[in-house]
Amino acid sequence: MHKTLSVAKDTWWVGVNDYETDLFESLWPLPQGVAYNAYVVLGDKTAAIDTVKGPWFDDYFDKVTSALDGRPLDYLVVNHMEPDHAGVIGSLRCAYPDLQLIGNAKTLPLLREYHGIEEGVVQVKDGENLDLGGHLLAFYTIPMVHWPESMVTFDSATKVLFSNDAFGGYGAHEGGLFDDEKPRERWEGEMLRYYATIVARYSGMVQTALKKLSALDIAGIYPAHGTLFREDIGQAVELYDRWSKQETESGVVVAYGSMYGNTRRMAEAVCRGISEGGVKNVRLYDAARSDTSQILRDIWRYKGLVLLGCTYNTLLFPAVDALCTKLINRMLKKRVLGIAGSYSWSKGALDALRAFADTVKLEKIGPEVEVFAAPTEADLEQCVELGKNMAKAVA
């Protein structure tokens, strides 16, 4: 077994698989784990590209020293200051006191505040190069994808783009690192779930970054999480282009909140209508019990969204309300929206969903259905009708 893996000429993967973090950013479940990809490039000078999350220093350092094979580490490129990649900068500096850190103007204050590091830092401008001797590294800022200091590094010798969180996905490596070593269905869903949870809000900035990087002659995209692309980098670029333009597939996500099953029955009737309308991709989610990251992933994939909630203490049922907040935050666009609510005295749920619809300005598909207590046959028929209309709208 190798301590580290060669991933291009003079280039080593020194990342780690993390199966121990249950929730990424204390929010998003990791059923397949997550990888923190980091790299070492060996020229006349040596450089590490990114580090890993704090608890993984020993594993990372073991791989870094194996890749260096007795040489010192001259540079650390800090593409991103989020602690899943910058967590062990201080420890690495202790191991290599002469280590020069490479960052941009936005990186430096974060290095100072997170790690107390001000010395031995080289500030690079957008597009600036660092010549390692045999490998010329160029740095490009990609602001707000997904932090202000986010940056990518391009090695013109290998044509590898070290893209940090851009093009990243959840899921630890299961032996293979590359797109040609894994089935697409094993990584694409986890890459989209990562996009929907972490990157989606900044889709406009992703478009800016894609345009900026399009001039580069790229042979490999090596992100800081998930699959490395070398066989078909076009597929990764195409997915990112599509997701950031909020282009969708035919299908409908139906998410509901229900305490005693009445609103659930309405949701099921909507799904039946969608199915009768000939659309196969229907995803029904109980918002209170389902993993929100999966709901967000599927909302990012499909054109149709139906939200249903019962009224709870005059307001929209909390789990649906929380989902609405996440969608507003992600600036959801280019979807068609259906809404329905239930109540027994004051009402409230459907009004809140109407306010949500006004905020996100999505095209609304009728009918709006509002049910008193338990849905009647006629109410359920209205729900089926909504489903059929959704099917037409997403076909």
Ligand X SMILES: Cc1cc2nc3c(=O)[nH]c(=O)nc-3n(C[C@H](O)[C@H](O)[C@H](O)COP(=O)(O)O)c2cc1C
Instruction: Say whether residue 84 binds Fe ion (CB under 5 A).
Output: yes
CB of 41 to Fe ion, least distance (A): 20
Q: Which two tokens stand for residue 136?
A: 């010329």
| Contact pick of 186, 272, 347, 354 for ligand X (by CB under 6 A) | 347
> DSSP H helical segments within the chain, as ranges?
57-68, 83-86, 89-95, 107-115, 184-194, 203-213, 233-244, 262-276, 292-301, 318-329, 349-360, 377-394
Locus of tokens 């209205």: 382
| Integer CA distances (angstroms), 344 to 19, 269, 340, 372, in order | 45, 20, 14, 6
CB of 343 to ligand X, least distance (A): 3
Torsion of CA 13, 17, 21, 23, to 10 degrees: 80
User: Which of the stretches 41-49, 162-170, 238-246, 339-347 binds Fe ion when contact is defined by CB under 5 A?
Assistant: 162-170
* Residue 320, both tokens: 């649906």
Which partner from the list Fe ion, ligand X, none does 6 bind, CB cut-off 5 to 8 Å by kind?
A: none
Interface with Fe ion (CB under 5 A), residue from 82, 155, 298, 379: 82
Per CB under 6 A, the list member of 81, 310, 362, 391 interacting with ligand X is 310
For ligand X, the closer CB: 46 or 258:
258
Q: Based on CB atoms, which residue is closest to ligand X, 68 or 386?
A: 386
Taking the complex as a whole, the smallest distance from the CB of residue 298 to ligand X amounts, in Å, to 22
Is residue 318 close enough to count as binding ligand X by CB under 6 A?
A: no
Which of 73, 212, 222 shows the shortest CA–CA distance to 158? 222
In angstroms, what CA-CA distances link 125 with 53, 73, 82, 119, 147? 26, 22, 20, 18, 17
Is 18 a binder of Fe ion (CB under 5 A)? no
6 binds ligand X (CB under 6 A): no
Length of the chain: 395
- Paired sense of beta strands 39-42 and 11-13, if any: antiparallel
Q: Which of 123, 129, 214, 314 binds ligand X (CB under 6 A)?
A: 314
Q: Does 190 bind Fe ion (CB under 5 A)?
A: no
Binds Fe ion by CB under 5 A, chosen from 18, 165, 188, 190: 165
The secondary structure of residue 7, as a DSSP letter, is E
Alpha-carbon distance of 352 to 132, in angstroms, equals 57
Among residues 292, 287, 298, the alpha carbon closest in space to that of 353 is found at 287
The burial of 142, by beta-carbon neighbours within 10 Å (0-12 exposed, 13-18 middle, 19 or more buried), is given as buried
- CA–CA dist 153, 286 (Å, integer): 42
- Which one of Fe ion, ligand X, none is in contact with 261 (Cβ closer than 5 to 8 A by kind)? ligand X
> Exactly one of 258, 294, 382, 389 binds ligand X (CB under 6 A); which one?
258
Segment interacting with Fe ion, rule: CB under 5 A, options 21-29, 165-173, 246-254, 384-392: 165-173
Give the nearer residue to ligand X in terms of CB position, either 179 or 370: 370
Binding of residue 289 to ligand X (CB under 6 A) = no
What is the full DSSP assignment across 133-157?
SS-EEEEEE-TTSSSTT-EEEEETT
Q: Is the dihedral of CA 285, 290, 292, 296 positive or negative?
A: negative
Binds ligand X by CB under 6 A, chosen from 342, 369, 388, 391: 342
Shortest Å, Cβ 80 to Fe ion: 5
From residue 261 to residue 280, the character string flagging contacts with ligand X as x (rule: CB under 6 A) and all else as - is xxxx----------------
74 binds Fe ion (CB under 5 A): no
Rule CB under 6 A: say whether 373 interacts with ligand X.
yes
Would you state the structure tokens that stand for residue 10, as one six-digit string?
């003079």
376 binds ligand X (CB under 6 A): no
Is residue 188 a contact residue for Fe ion (CB under 5 A)? no
The site for ligand X (CB under 6 A) is made up of 258-264, 310-314, 342-348, 373
> Which residues contact Fe ion by CB under 5 A?
82, 84, 165
